[in-house]
Amino acid sequence: MKIASKVTKDMIEYYNSDVNRINHALKVYGFAKCIGELEDIKEQETLELTAILHDIGIPDSERLYNSSAAKYQEMIGPKVAASILEKYNLPEKVLERIYYIIGNHHTYDKIDEIDFQILVEADFLVNIYEGNYERVKIEMVKEKYFKTKAGLDLIDSLYLDNVR
Protein backbone atom coordinates (compact mmCIF):
# COMPACT_ATOMS: atom_id res chain seq x y z
CA MET A 1 0.00 0.00 0.00
CA LYS A 2 1.31 3.43 -0.93
CA ILE A 3 1.99 5.85 1.88
CA ALA A 4 -0.37 8.41 0.29
CA SER A 5 -3.31 6.08 0.94
CA LYS A 6 -2.31 5.66 4.58
CA VAL A 7 -1.87 9.41 5.03
CA THR A 8 -5.24 10.00 3.34
CA LYS A 9 -6.85 7.73 5.91
CA ASP A 10 -5.05 9.59 8.70
CA MET A 11 -6.20 12.94 7.28
CA ILE A 12 -9.81 11.75 7.14
CA GLU A 13 -9.65 10.59 10.75
CA TYR A 14 -8.01 13.85 11.84
CA TYR A 15 -10.75 15.95 10.22
CA ASN A 16 -13.26 13.96 12.26
CA SER A 17 -16.23 13.87 9.87
CA ASP A 18 -15.64 17.38 8.43
CA VAL A 19 -16.67 16.21 4.97
CA ASN A 20 -16.14 19.60 3.33
CA ARG A 21 -12.49 19.78 4.42
CA ILE A 22 -11.94 16.11 3.56
CA ASN A 23 -13.41 16.58 0.09
CA HIS A 24 -11.33 19.71 -0.46
CA ALA A 25 -8.15 17.85 0.45
CA LEU A 26 -9.05 14.92 -1.79
CA LYS A 27 -9.79 17.19 -4.75
CA VAL A 28 -6.50 19.08 -4.31
CA TYR A 29 -4.70 15.75 -4.04
CA GLY A 30 -6.34 14.53 -7.26
CA PHE A 31 -5.36 17.61 -9.22
CA ALA A 32 -1.84 17.67 -7.74
CA LYS A 33 -1.33 13.99 -8.59
CA CYS A 34 -2.58 14.59 -12.14
CA ILE A 35 -0.46 17.69 -12.76
CA GLY A 36 2.63 16.14 -11.18
CA GLU A 37 2.37 13.01 -13.30
CA LEU A 38 1.69 15.00 -16.49
CA GLU A 39 4.71 17.19 -15.73
CA ASP A 40 6.71 14.03 -14.86
CA ILE A 41 8.23 15.48 -11.70
CA LYS A 42 10.63 13.53 -9.53
CA GLU A 43 9.08 14.90 -6.31
CA GLN A 44 5.74 13.15 -6.89
CA GLU A 45 5.48 11.46 -3.49
CA THR A 46 6.35 14.68 -1.66
CA LEU A 47 3.77 16.55 -3.74
CA GLU A 48 1.04 14.01 -3.06
CA LEU A 49 1.64 13.93 0.70
CA THR A 50 1.74 17.72 0.83
CA ALA A 51 -1.51 17.98 -1.12
CA ILE A 52 -3.31 15.59 1.23
CA LEU A 53 -2.18 17.57 4.28
CA HIS A 54 -1.94 21.12 2.91
CA ASP A 55 -4.85 22.48 5.03
CA ILE A 56 -4.36 20.20 8.03
CA GLY A 57 -3.81 23.18 10.35
CA ILE A 58 -7.34 24.52 9.91
CA PRO A 59 -9.08 22.66 12.78
CA ASP A 60 -6.52 23.84 15.34
CA SER A 61 -6.51 27.35 13.81
CA GLU A 62 -10.25 27.55 14.28
CA ARG A 63 -10.06 26.12 17.78
CA LEU A 64 -7.18 28.35 18.95
CA TYR A 65 -7.82 31.56 16.99
CA ASN A 66 -11.45 31.22 15.91
CA SER A 67 -10.17 31.66 12.36
CA SER A 68 -9.01 29.62 9.39
CA ALA A 69 -6.97 32.55 8.06
CA ALA A 70 -3.96 31.63 5.96
CA LYS A 71 -1.44 32.89 8.53
CA TYR A 72 -2.81 30.51 11.16
CA GLN A 73 -2.98 27.56 8.76
CA GLU A 74 0.63 28.15 7.79
CA MET A 75 1.72 28.55 11.42
CA ILE A 76 -0.03 25.44 12.76
CA GLY A 77 -0.14 23.11 9.75
CA PRO A 78 3.46 21.86 9.80
CA LYS A 79 3.20 20.76 13.44
CA VAL A 80 -0.01 18.84 12.79
CA ALA A 81 1.46 17.29 9.64
CA ALA A 82 4.51 16.22 11.66
CA SER A 83 2.29 14.46 14.19
CA ILE A 84 0.66 12.52 11.36
CA LEU A 85 3.80 11.74 9.35
CA GLU A 86 6.13 10.81 12.21
CA LYS A 87 5.17 7.13 12.07
CA TYR A 88 6.09 6.69 8.40
CA ASN A 89 9.89 6.99 8.66
CA LEU A 90 10.16 9.34 5.70
CA PRO A 91 13.54 10.88 4.92
CA GLU A 92 14.15 14.10 6.85
CA LYS A 93 14.64 16.01 3.59
CA VAL A 94 11.17 14.95 2.40
CA LEU A 95 9.58 15.88 5.73
CA GLU A 96 11.25 19.30 5.74
CA ARG A 97 9.98 19.93 2.23
CA ILE A 98 6.40 18.94 3.13
CA TYR A 99 6.47 21.18 6.21
CA TYR A 100 7.93 24.08 4.23
CA ILE A 101 5.20 23.93 1.60
CA ILE A 102 2.37 23.48 4.12
CA GLY A 103 3.83 26.34 6.16
CA ASN A 104 3.87 28.66 3.16
CA HIS A 105 1.17 27.43 0.79
CA HIS A 106 -0.66 30.78 0.80
CA THR A 107 2.56 32.80 0.56
CA TYR A 108 3.00 32.73 -3.19
CA ASP A 109 6.27 34.65 -3.31
CA LYS A 110 7.89 31.69 -1.52
CA ILE A 111 7.19 29.26 -4.37
CA ASP A 112 10.65 27.91 -5.08
CA GLU A 113 10.29 24.55 -6.84
CA ILE A 114 7.91 22.63 -9.10
CA ASP A 115 6.27 20.65 -6.26
CA PHE A 116 5.23 23.86 -4.50
CA GLN A 117 4.08 25.40 -7.80
CA ILE A 118 1.88 22.40 -8.57
CA LEU A 119 0.35 22.37 -5.09
CA VAL A 120 -0.66 26.02 -5.51
CA GLU A 121 -2.16 25.34 -8.94
CA ALA A 122 -4.10 22.32 -7.65
CA ASP A 123 -5.42 24.30 -4.68
CA PHE A 124 -6.56 27.12 -6.97
CA LEU A 125 -8.30 24.67 -9.32
CA VAL A 126 -10.41 23.54 -6.38
CA ASN A 127 -10.82 26.98 -4.79
CA ILE A 128 -12.07 28.46 -8.06
CA TYR A 129 -14.94 25.99 -8.08
CA GLU A 130 -15.65 26.05 -4.36
CA GLY A 131 -15.49 29.86 -4.30
CA ASN A 132 -17.51 30.25 -7.49
CA TYR A 133 -14.95 32.71 -8.91
CA GLU A 134 -16.06 35.07 -11.65
CA ARG A 135 -14.33 34.75 -15.03
CA VAL A 136 -12.25 37.92 -14.58
CA LYS A 137 -10.88 36.59 -11.26
CA ILE A 138 -10.11 33.21 -12.84
CA GLU A 139 -8.19 34.94 -15.62
CA MET A 140 -6.21 36.95 -13.04
CA VAL A 141 -5.39 33.81 -11.04
CA LYS A 142 -4.29 32.03 -14.22
CA GLU A 143 -2.06 34.90 -15.30
CA LYS A 144 -0.52 35.45 -11.88
CA TYR A 145 -0.15 31.95 -10.43
CA PHE A 146 -0.22 29.24 -13.11
CA LYS A 147 3.06 28.19 -14.72
CA THR A 148 2.92 24.48 -15.61
CA LYS A 149 1.59 23.35 -18.98
CA ALA A 150 -0.67 20.79 -17.30
CA GLY A 151 -2.06 23.34 -14.84
CA LEU A 152 -2.65 25.88 -17.60
CA ASP A 153 -4.43 23.25 -19.70
CA LEU A 154 -6.63 22.28 -16.74
CA ILE A 155 -7.65 25.81 -15.78
CA ASP A 156 -8.50 26.51 -19.41
CA SER A 157 -10.53 23.37 -19.97
CA LEU A 158 -12.29 23.54 -16.59
CA TYR A 159 -13.09 27.23 -16.42
CA LEU A 160 -12.02 29.36 -19.37
CA ASP A 161 -12.83 27.41 -22.55
CA ASN A 162 -16.50 27.53 -21.59
CA VAL A 163 -18.67 30.57 -21.18
CA ARG A 164 -19.09 31.16 -17.46
Q: Quick: pLDDT tens for 4-25.
A: 999 999 999 999 999 999 999 9
pLDDT of res. 23: 98
Confidence of residue 161 (pLDDT cuts 50, 70, 90): confident
| Angle, helix 70-85 to helix 3-15, in steps of 10 degrees | 120
Average pLDDT of 125-151? 97
Q: What is the pTM of this model?
A: 0.95
Average pLDDT of 134-141? 97
Please provide the average confidence, as pLDDT, over all residues in the chain: 96
Instruction: Quote the number of domains for the chain.
Output: 1
pLDDT of res. 42: 97
pLDDT-above-70 percentage for the chain: 98
pLDDT of res. 41: 98
Residue 80: give its domain's CATH number.
Answer: 1.10.3210.10
Q: Which of 150, 78, 139, 148 is nearest to 107 (CA)?
A: 78
60: Cβ contacts below 8 Å, ≥ 6 apart: 76, 80
- DSSP calls for the chain: --HHHHHHHHHHHHHTT-HHHHHHHHHHHHHHHHHHHHHT-TTHHHHHHHHHHTTTTHHHHHHHHS---HHHHHHHHHHHHHHHHGGG---HHHHHHHHHHHTTTT-GGG--SHHHHHHHHHHHHHHHHHTT--HHHHHHHHHHH--SHHHHHHHIIIIISS--
pLDDT of res. 150: 98
Confidence of residue 137 (pLDDT cuts 50, 70, 90): very high
Average pLDDT of 62-87? 96
Is the pLDDT at 124 greater than 60, yes or no? yes
Confidence of residue 162 (pLDDT cuts 50, 70, 90): low
Provide the domain limits for residue 135: 3-160
One-letter amino acid identity for 106? H
